[in-house]
Amino acid sequence: MQKRNTEKKQKGGKKLLAAVSILFYAGMLLLTLGARGLHESRLPKVTVTSPEMKAFRVENYETFSPALPQELADSGRIFVISEEIINGEPRQIARLVSDLETGGLSSDGYRELKNGLSTLTKVIVDGREELSGGEEVLIEGEWKYEKD
């Protein structure tokens, strides 16, 4: 009789342990699947553009150079997107450009870039006010300059 009660308690303990284990692993699975969305919801959201090749007239000839919208180039705080692998995952990191050299040339609302950026670089247009450089960002969209 006592042996039977002990066996029932052991079976009940095993069932409880199995139920707790299943709940634990189900919870861990939900957290794992939702981690990316939770992480991205807390990132600064930015809009990006790329410098465009523009013609700038100098005396008798035209020169082609990468260019940014003049108000962006003259803002003094240009952030670019750096694609990096962190913890085995690709991330977009905002980096402050310190060696950007703009030329004196401007045309149709664009300012010439002498060095520091190429037409393949993604430049942050919106959302840069809250950035200091080095933080991960979420790119919400691409921006295209349209002159009025």
In terms of Cα–Cα distance, which of 131, 38, 129 is closest to 92? Answer: 131
**22 pLDDT tier (thresholds 50, 70, 90):** very high
Which letter does DSSP use for residue 60 in this model? Answer: T
Q: Return d(Cα 78, Cα 73) in angstroms, integer.
A: 7
% of the chain beyond a pLDDT of 70: 89
What's the N-to-C CA distance of the chain in angstroms? 92
pLDDT for the residue numbered 20: 92
Across the chain, mean pLDDT equals 84
Q: Return d(Cα 107, Cα 52) in angstroms, integer.
A: 12
- For 2-6, 77-81, 94-98, which range has the lowest pLDDT when averaged over its residues? 2-6
Average pLDDT (91-109) is: 83
In terms of Cα–Cα distance, which of 135, 123, 140 is closest to 68? Answer: 123
pTM (whole model) above 0.85: no
Question: What is the per-residue pLDDT across 33-82, written as a single tens digit (0 to 9) for each?
Answer: 888 888 888 999 999 988 888 888 888 888 888 888 888 888 878 899 99
pLDDT for the residue numbered 76: 78
Average pLDDT (109-122) is: 84
pLDDT for the residue numbered 81: 94
**Whether pLDDT at 147 is above 60:** no
